[in-house]
Amino acid sequence: MLSAIAFLCLMLSLLMYPGAVQSSAASSVMYCLTVLVPSLFPFMALTGYAVSSPAAQTLGRPLDLVTRHVFRLPGCCAVPVLMSLIGGYPAGAKGASILLSDGRITEAQAGRMLLFCVNPGLAFTVTYLGLGVFGSTGMGWRLFASVSIPAVLMGVLTGLRAPVPPKGEERGAALRGAQALTRSVADASKSVLIMCACIVLFAGFTAVLHSSGLFGQAVRLLTRAGILTPQQWAASLSFLLEVTGGTGDARALGVGPGFFAFGLAFGGLCVHIQVFSMFHRLPVKLPLFFLCRFIHGLLAAGCFVLLGRLAPGPEAGGLVETMAGAYRPALSGGWMGGASLLLMCAAFLLTAGRGCRDGD
């Protein structure tokens, strides 16, 4: 019954506000083509290859001691943990899903990785937000540190009660050569296509909320609590829904960078759905996952303020770029390159076949 009601409400909303949905979806498609696909797909493919191939074992040896004793995870998890910090939101979750499906980590270990391996990545935070939005790479690095430090701290805290994995423990075999490369490209193609679809879908949903007045009513209701200003509540709600849309709304509303730190760490429901889609069965309980995401956001905001006091730097040079601003082509090569890469992903999935996806 709930599904039927939700379907009817969404269908009616699309018919009532087609212009707003179309405009918002078009902006999101341009964002995917100019920023998301060109910058994230290489990291996704690289993460998949590093985890599926023996590279994870080789690269994990220098970090084996830290991974086992600090995070209480097998050495093969070192690469996914590292890529979760620098590669973007789905990179760490994708690495965890590959290790779990190959039997190289347990379900409990994969679930713990999801509690701290969902982070915005270096390129998006420093280059796009820092330089493109705030006009300061220093501000980008400060945001990156504000999100990454709490993530590492949460990784340590969530592993305190777990046993230390034995040295050199490997529960499954890694793929080799072209097999690992083909699988990593296929998995990255599928993940990127799903991400783009989720972002466009949430953009349309957010447009309906704004056009119908529901978003404004929620902001007015929350403002009565007196904790935040209406602009700050609006930016926070946007970040809770979808992080890229929240970035644009926070820029337009002129809220402080601390709210960006919270939104980047939380990730947004759109990112969370993308993470969930990478697992046949989610290895962590949903209440615990959302609680950790909220705690991560609060810690990131607090860390941002603390870093500003410990090492004062130049403030943001102004919110100079829009979400479809002129900086994006310089960042990723323009929409034509993104569209070509997205089409190549789709073509690869159609031609690779089932055996390629299963690693056969």
The confidence score (pLDDT) of residue 322 equals 36
Token pair for residue 81? 């943990």
**Predicted local confidence at residue 304, as pLDDT:** 92
Q: What's the confidence (pLDDT) of residue 154?
A: 94
Average pLDDT value for residue range 230-252: 87
pLDDT value at residue 60: 64
For residue 328 the two structure tokens come to 């994006």
CB atoms within 10 A of CB 71: 24
Angle between helices 137-158 and 78-86 (to 10 degrees): 150
Q: How many residues does the chain have?
A: 360
Residue 5 has pLDDT above 80, yes or no: yes
Q: What is the mean pLDDT of residues 137-161?
A: 91
* Distance of alpha carbon 87 from alpha carbon 151, whole angstroms: 14
* Whether the predicted pLDDT of 324 surpasses 70: no
Who's near 176: CB < 8 A, 6+ residues apart?
Answer: 53, 54
Q: Does the pLDDT at position 171 exceed 60?
A: no
Q: What is the pLDDT of residue 294?
A: 94
Q: What is the pLDDT of residue 176?
A: 60
pLDDT value at 348 more than 80: no
Percent of the chain predicted with pLDDT > 70: 81
Tell me what pLDDT residue 169 has. 53
Rounded CA gap, 291 and 175, in Å?
A: 35
Tokens of 58: 């080789």
Domain ranges of the chain: 20-162+173-358
Query: pLDDT tens-digit profile of 113-136?
Result: 999 999 988 877 887 788 777 888
Stretch among 9-13, 48-52, 151-155, 223-227 having the lowest mean pLDDT: 48-52
Extract the tokens encoding 107: 């379900």
User: Rounded to an integer, what distance in angstroms lies between the CA atom of residue 24 and that of residue 244?
Assistant: 12
State how far the Cα of 73 lies from the Cα of 81, in Å rounded to an integer: 10
Q: Is the pLDDT of residue 93 over 60?
A: yes
> Residue 105 and residue 95: Cα distance in Å, rounded?
11
The pLDDT value given to residue 303: 94
More confident residue, 194 or 50: 194
Rounded Cα gap, residues 275 and 94, in angstroms: 8
Give yes or no for residue 297 having a pLDDT over 90: yes
Mean pLDDT of the region 274-279: 87
